[in-house]
Chain A
Amino acid sequence: MFEALSDKLSGVFDRLRTRGALSETDVGEALREVRLALLDADVALPVVRDFIAKVRERALSTEVLGSVTPGQQIVKIVNDVMVAELGGEGAVPLNLNAAAPIPMLMVGLQGSGKTTTAGKIALRLKERVRKRVLLASLDTQRPAAQLQLAQLGERAGVPSLPIVAGQTPVQIALRAMETGRREGFDVVILDTAGRLSIDEALMEEVKAIRTATNPAETLLVVDAMTGQDAVNTARAFHEALGITGIVLTRMDGDARGGAALSMRAVTGAPIKLMGLGEKLDALEEFHPERVAGRILGMGDIVGLVEKAGETIDQDEAEKLAAKMARGKFDLEDLAAQLRQIGRMGSLSGILGMLPGMGKVKAQLDDAKLDPKILKRQEAIISSMTPKERRAPDIIKASRKKRIASGSGTTVQDVNKLLKQFDDMSAMMKRMNKLGQKGLMRHGLSALLPKGMAQGNRPPGRGF
């Protein structure tokens, strides 16, 4: 969509032949497109207004350089302002500069992900900075909420405060801090019940918890899918508690996450972490420069590269790349590649992070590219003899039949796989012409076996 925005903007500016300072009318027209893009990304209206004003000011005082089009210039300004508004470059770590036990308070609306995030932070502090963490649930509202945190603690290998029925949230908070002191914990994470920002009684309650514990971090946990209400929620929680950081959950979804900008604008508090899944290790630092692109619809390219880097076996990937470079790619390598794809998890999820990949993603979704297919293809290859894998040309009818029955598939499946291999080999040749740089740029599309879906054409360009 960022590409769409870029396209629209260049459309607006294509008519302009003049270089030099951008005119007020031209900028105005471009900014209308930017405004719509931001609103469609769920950035709250008052925040959009401020944002547009900043971009306008900067655009009008910027000379358009000879080498770029006015449209590109505006896009860059929009991106720069977005990064700055989200907090500038780099991530802001959790504040651990306080006397132990350091209290951390988790607050937010119902169902935003507080309890899960409490478990994730506990695991992170335990594993990355070797802190002794105590988890305490002050949620006496939601059925089984305290048990939920206790179970998450077990999964994370982090102790949780014993549950005592009948205590009020403030009593539990005090007991947690006392236990933390007595048993020498470094950090005490206080998970609270979800509450609506307009629920005065519950807002008073959380204020009392804050006063009683004086947390080093008061983290507002927000769903990345939040709409315009993000400003109301952020303002109310910030006014009541003084938010020190924001955690954005469900960033593994496909929401554009404009709420991040709204929350940050209203509270001025840094977005510190983001949740990328339900598992306890699915927590990452928030990097404004990456999320900016996502809000603008550009796709989190850096995030994609990192995710690929984490899940892909480096050695195997390098070997593969070397083979590709030499033009020597056989079915053995295809099997390795299928394993890599399997490890990368939902390929369509990853593609969703990329700009201009919407169509491919839709085709993939149609094709239901699921692990079962990958497994089946691996099975086919493993039913081949080493010789067949190295020289697939020798696989004719009778061999196909044997391979099919050996792998519990059909001859048709075997044919499909061989066709796919042919297509990939052809692509490799093309890529080799592009050289090393081309390989980097096309690495992912090479991972996308053509023919896995009918009519699915891996993009030759566009990454």
Chain B
Amino acid sequence: MALGGFFSRLKEGLSRSTQKLGGGITAVFVRRRLDDAALDELEEVLIGADLGTEAAARVIAAFRRSRFGKEVTDQEVKEALAEEIAAILRPVARPLELDPAHRPHVVLVVGVNGTGKTTTIGKLAQLWHEQGRRPMLVAGDTFRAAAVEQLQIWGQRTSCPVVAGAPEADAAGLAFDALGRARTDGNDVLLVDTAGRLHNKSVLMDELAKIIRVMRKQDPTAPHSVLLVLDATTGQNAIQQVKVFKEMVAVTGLIVTKLDGSARGGIVVALAESFGLPVHAVGVGEQAADLRPFDATDFARGLVGL
């Protein structure tokens, strides 16, 4: 991904989602004094973008300290607000690094149902394959109907081998076998798909912990990355999701999907504040090429409609 192209495509992906927020701010601030009423309205705009009441209040409080009472133009407000949000996001905007010391670098992909785990694996496989790496995919969702076939199609699309077991096979055993195979075959990345699971189902969460335990019998340092895939349309429940997955399986980073829609993913701001987990990338479509690095400034500017 060339950087210039990346920016324009990210903007493109985010632009639709930001029209409304941008419009909202414009409506609020055309030649207006930044008073209490204006700040209240601005706070509502942020809440409408899923930042949540607390994060929105914090952003506005900081904003109030530096800007209160000034006569501001629409553009100034947007710039300043974007910077306020970007400053929160910057520490978490970190790319996913593969460690060449691990052969393979094991990436476990987790999340609640339907967020885009399998698709994201397809996208990552594509990216890494293009970079000359040799990813192997593991069809660890042995529960959902045709989940294995779905990943197999992604394997074909990206020319990556897929390890699959019998239907309803034990995902942990499968991951164990796949790791052995990847080592023998010399694959440098192992992408392990898992069934979607709600964080409040402790039995399913324990299964995930078991996958990790069993893989560690092959490689005590595995998994090297645990990616939680979050759907940008998710509201405040995302906080609970991250909290529980982080506790249960030591999530190392987030990927936010479906940012090509009308949802704005403002919950990422609240997540950055609460957990500080890296946000590695965003999904902006259903195709293999629709994955972008997460860029704090871009994301924040996009959020406020710049």
Contacts and interface: CB of A to CB of B under 8 A. Distances in A.
A144 B146 contact: yes
Nearest to A49: B44
A40 B53 contact: yes
A142 B286 contact: yes
B17 to A, nearest CB: 8
Nearest to B237: A255
Nearest to A152: B145
Interface string B235-278: 11110100000000000000000101111101100000000000
A348 B202 contact: yes
Contacts of B194: none
A42 B234 CA distance: 9
Given A254-B200, A346-B202, A111 B231 contact: yes
> Chain B CB within 10 Å — which of A112, A225, A368 has the most?
A225
B203 interface: yes
A226 B234 contact: yes
| Residue among B152, B260, B267, B286 facing the most chain A CB atoms (10 A cut-off) | B286
A346 B44 CA distance: 38
Contacts of B220: none
A227 B144 contact: no
A400 interface: no
B149 interface: yes
A151 B146 CA distance: 7
Interface in A345-392: 346, 348-349, 352, 365, 368-371
B150 A352 contact: no
Nearest to B49: A228
Interface in A95-153: 109-113, 115, 119, 141-145, 147-152
A121 to B, nearest CB: 15
Interface in A157-199: 196-198
Contacts of B157: 143
B47 A110 contact: no
A349 B150 contact: no
B146 A197 contact: no
B50 A228 contact: yes
B116 interface: yes
B237 to A, nearest CB: 4
B258 A346 contact: no
Contact of A227 (B149, B203, B206, B234): B234
B52 interface: yes
Nearest to A45: B48
Given A143-B149, A144-B146, A370-B203, A223 B286 contact: no
Contact of B235 (A236, A254, A258): A258
Given A152-B145, A196-B261, A198-B262, A348 B200 contact: yes
Nearest to A254: B200
Contact of B112 (A112, A141, A250, A371): A250
Interface in B162-209: 196, 198-203, 206
B233 interface: yes
Given A113-B114, A348-B200, A370-B202, A233 B235 contact: no
Contact of A254 (B116, B143, B145, B240): B240
Interface in B210-242: 231, 233-238, 240
A326 B202 CA distance: 36
A448 interface: no
Q: How large is the interface on A (under 10, 10 to 19, 20 to 34, 35 or more residues)?
A: 35 or more
B115 interface: yes
A84 to B, nearest CB: 23
A44 B48 contact: yes
A197 B261 CA distance: 7
B234 A144 contact: no
Interface in B118-163: 143-147, 149-150, 152-154, 157
Contacts of B262: 196-198, 229, 232-233, 236
A405 to B, nearest CB: 27
B113 interface: yes
Contacts of B231: 111, 223, 225
A144 B47 CA distance: 37
Contacts of A349: 200-202
A227 B50 contact: yes
Nearest to A197: B262
B103 interface: no
B206 A368 contact: yes
A253 interface: yes
A278 B116 CA distance: 16
B115 A111 contact: yes
B16 interface: yes
A252 interface: yes
With a 10 A CB-CB cut-off, give which of A41, A42, A115, A143 has the most chain B CB atoms. Answer: A143
B260 A196 contact: yes
A435 to B, nearest CB: 34
Given A278-B144, A370-B206, A147 B261 contact: no
Interface in A383-414: none
A148 B235 contact: no
A255 B235 contact: yes
Interface of A: 36, 39-42, 44-45, 109-113, 115, 119, 141-145, 147-152, 155, 196-198, 223, 225-229, 232-233, 236, 250, 252-256, 258-259, 278, 346, 348-349, 352, 365, 368-371
Given A196-B261, A232-B20, A254-B240, 5 more contacts: A198-B261, A198-B262, A227-B263, A250-B113, A371-B203
| 4 nearest A-B residue pairs (beta carbon) | A227-B235, A111-B114, A42-B235, A229-B263
30 contacts: A39-B47, A39-B53, A40-B236, A42-B235, A109-B233, A110-B258, A110-B286, A112-B114, A141-B286, A145-B146, A148-B147, A149-B145, A150-B146, A151-B145, A198-B16, A223-B231, A226-B233, A227-B267, A228-B266, A232-B20, A250-B113, A252-B200, A253-B200, A254-B199, A255-B236, A278-B144, A278-B196, A346-B200, A368-B202, A370-B203
